[in-house]
Amino acid sequence: MRVLFVVCNLADYQIPRYRAMAQLAARRAHDVSLVEIFGRSRSNNYPQPARAKFFAEGRVNAVTLFKNQAHGDEHWLSIIGRLREVLRARSPDLVVTLGYQTSYSIYLCALRIFTQRFKLVYMSDSKADDGKRPWLKERLKKLLVSRFDGALVAGEKHRVYARSLGIPFARSRIGFDVIDVDYFRETAQRAKADAAYERTRFGLPERYAICVSRFVHRKNVLLVVDAFARSSLPHRDISLLLVGEGPLEEAVRERINALGLRERVVIISKMPNQEMPTLYALADFIILASTFDQWGLCIHEAMATGCPAIVTSTCGCAHELVYDSVNGFVVSPGDVDELIHAMSLLAEDHGLRGNFSLNAAKAVEEWTPSLFAENVLALADAVGAAP
């Protein structure tokens, strides 16, 4: 069977998925190739060493259509023209594309309908409660999505949403948003063994809670700062580490200053993904207070290092990775009092943090790149792509 992935741009954190896919495909005598539309990204504008190594290895027959461009730089007709050439050369049995609303995904769907030459699966972490979903827009979306043969999604609530768009459970699988659990766990263990050095290297406080998030409205970073100020953490010499940047950065800094927290809140604007395990490992816990979040990959990463989590109920990983009062807390979005209570409990109870830490690491053991690879091939069988 010939499997072709079509993605917008590869980032370092995604590489383990495709490496695992290549390894599994080789064992089962399948051929895997990948098309990257753009060689640059507007959001990941720092070096991607894992991506460069992946292309150099050649384990997957990978090609970049526009090496020096990012999304939005090329007209959709140019994208389709080059993608058509790749499809003719590769003749895939199964095409797995990122999303269903991009120009290349819509083109692939149209080609699938009119030629019947391959089966088509989309990858997505969308779910029903990702903000407002106007009825008419959802109906139109269903007309498109139902034409796909299957879906690889993040978790079970994402499968439910895919079903509402016309993809039955029999033709959907989980495992899209997975991480290299082994790398995060092993790197975290090394960081904990030399914690003093790592704190000095990154300028980290002795104790801190961490929030990894873009500084945009739906991420509620200002709410996290407010909750921190009103919690018991500052009085216990526990700091807040914010990792991220975005249009609200000035507002966040102004709020920190207004609350007199300049000595208690540390902001790191950019951090390569390969360094993140250290920041998670030395934190007391992680917070993701978004109004909604498709999955919460930072939570997945943090839990692999044994870091307990506080997430809102509208985060995709809530009740899939994070279980309330088991390995973290699930709070209501926008409820600052509930967030304060959860933060204070984790800060004050060492035994609770220890139990949650063990349970956090266990919860993500199976959410690995192998799950991604196995379920892509399971979907191939389910949609009839495998010979």
As a 3-state breakdown, the chain gives helix, strand, coil percent values, each rounded to 5, of: 45, 20, 35
The answer, yes or no, to whether residue 58 has pLDDT greater than 90, is: no
Give φ, ψ of 122 to 5 degrees.
Answer: -110, 155
Q: Determine which helix (DSSP H) or strand (DSSP E) holds 348, and give its type and residue range.
A: helix 336-348
Record the pTM. Answer: 0.95
* Residue in 128, 197, 120 with CA at minimum distance from that of residue 385: 120
Give the pLDDT confidence of 74-125 residue by residue, as tens digits.
Answer: 778 899 999 999 999 999 999 999 999 999 999 999 999 998 899 999 999 9
The answer, yes or no, to whether residue 44 has pLDDT greater than 80, is: no
Amino acid 31: pLDDT? 95
| Predicted confidence band of residue 385 (pLDDT cuts 50, 70, 90) | confident
| Predicted confidence band of residue 150 (pLDDT cuts 50, 70, 90) | very high
Bridge-partner residues for 95, per DSSP? 4, 120
Amino acid 43: pLDDT? 74
Give the pLDDT confidence of 248-298 residue by residue, as tens digits.
Answer: 999 999 999 999 999 999 999 989 999 999 999 999 999 999 999 999 999
Q: For each of the domains in the chain, give its residue range(s) and CATH number, in order of start.
A: 2-178+368-382 (3.40.50.2000), 181-363 (3.40.50.2000)
Q: What is the DSSP letter of 322?
A: B
Amino acid 141: pLDDT? 96
The answer, yes or no, to whether residue 329 has pLDDT greater than 90, is: yes
* Residue in 273, 339, 335 with CA at minimum distance from that of residue 300: 273
C-beta separation of 367 from 179 below 8 A: yes
Which tokens go with 128?
């029903």
C-beta separation of 286 from 302 below 8 A: yes
Q: How many CB atoms lie within 10 A of CB 1?
A: 18
The answer, yes or no, to whether residue 363 has pLDDT greater than 80, is: yes
What is the rounded average pLDDT of the residues 238-254? 97
Give the C-alpha separation, 256 to 232, whole Å.
Answer: 16
